[in-house]
Amino acid sequence: MFAVYAESFSPDDPLNGLVVGERPEPEVPDASTGSGRGAWTTVQVKAAALNHHDLWSLRGVGLREEALPMILGCDASGIDEDGNEVLIHAVISDPSWRGDETEDPRRSLLSERYQGTFADKVAVPRANLVPKPASLSFEEASCLPTSWLTAYRMLYVQGGLRPGQSVLVQGAGGGVATALITLARAGGLQVFATSRDEAKRARALEIGAHAAYETGARLPERVDAVMETVGAATWTHSLRSLRPGGTVVISGATSGPNPDNTELNRIFFLQLRVIGSTMGTSRELGQLVSFLDATGTRPLIDRTLPMAEAREGFAAMNDGDVFGKIVFTR
């Protein structure tokens, strides 16, 4: 079948190991004959969104050499074996695991242990299927399982934010960041954003930020929470932007994991809370879908490309030339 996959790793030039070609159809794990939580099925992919995770995989981060060749892609929407329109929850937990899937130490994301979504078909546990409402297109639905779910959990689960509170989103142009801005505004928050790029700051205002500033600029007021995915480049600013007792929620470190100043004194003296966040549960993905269905809020799509032109999308993300999600269609 048609597939976009990683053939090798290249830390400095991730597109080196990217192949747009053919791979065998996915093997459906043994439990497929069962009907319980462990049962697997296949989905015919209609749309799949690109994430920074796919670039990390090509760099050899989070993916083992023995797992190559590996079909990339965590996110997808498509049609299941019974003809239903579905989204796929990308967190694959152990069949014996009960409770929050993101806390399962043996969990993986699609394209880490099991083949990913940039293909004609993908095999997934039945428990990972979430119904797609008719109000969302396949392209919009494909944006939700990774960056949008991550943003939803950061704001409303780990961040515990309530309407009327204020939030700063760092690195406005990113896939997670645009989701954070849109979901925060739709949820009744006061939204500030930063970006290195003037045009991206203007776009941040269009999608819901109340104000947008240059990276590192002083805010007019301290905020209840900061949403961090940029890491070292913005960490100090994030902590300095919080009110006493405020919360920074971190789900990524694109610019590096070791900030020059960790601000430990500020953390204890101002009683700041530093909270990690990773993906979200299948239940939260269902809640996010309902949120969009009810509010009319939609993912911002930077561009839609036929999956055969995936290389162009990877290059744009690698160059930072993105505002919103890049979606591949089949």
Ligand X SMILES: NC(=O)c1ccc[n+]([C@@H]2O[C@H](COP(=O)([O-])OP(=O)(O)OC[C@H]3O[C@@H](n4cnc5c(N)ncnc54)[C@H](OP(=O)(O)O)[C@@H]3O)[C@@H](O)[C@H]2O)c1
Positions touching ligand X (CB under 6 A) are 51-53, 56, 146-147, 150, 171-177, 195-197, 200, 215, 229-230, 233-234, 251-255, 278-279, 317, 320, 322
Q: How far is the CB of 32 from ligand X (least distance, A)?
A: 27
Q: How far is the CB of 43 from ligand X (least distance, A)?
A: 21
When the beta carbons of 42 and 150 are compared against ligand X, the nearer one is 150
What's the distance, Cα to Cα, between the start and end of the chain in Å?
Answer: 12
**Contacts (Cβ under 8 Å, ≥6 apart) of 100:** 281
Please check whether residue 250 is in contact with residue 111, taking contact to mean a CB–CB distance below 8 angstroms.
no
Two structure tokens written together for 181? 């801005």
Return d(Cα 122, Cα 75) in angstroms, integer. 11
Decide: helix, strand or coil at residue 247: strand
When the beta carbons of 115 and 146 are compared against ligand X, the nearer one is 146
With residue 19 as reference, give the H or E element that holds it: strand 18-22
Return d(Cα 127, Cα 150) in angstroms, integer. 19
When the beta carbons of 34 and 216 are compared against ligand X, the nearer one is 216
C-alpha distances out from residue 207 to 101, 202, 218, Å: 31, 9, 22
Count how many Cα atoms sit within 13 Å of the Cα of residue 23 in the half-sphere of its side chain: 23
When the beta carbons of 27 and 198 are compared against ligand X, the nearer one is 198
Q: How far is the CB of 55 from ligand X (least distance, A)?
A: 8
- The two beta strands, 223-228 and 242-250, are parallel
Q: How far is the CB of 295 from ligand X (least distance, A)?
A: 21
Q: How far is the CB of 96 from ligand X (least distance, A)?
A: 23
Q: How far is the CB of 237 from ligand X (least distance, A)?
A: 10
When the beta carbons of 119 and 144 are compared against ligand X, the nearer one is 144
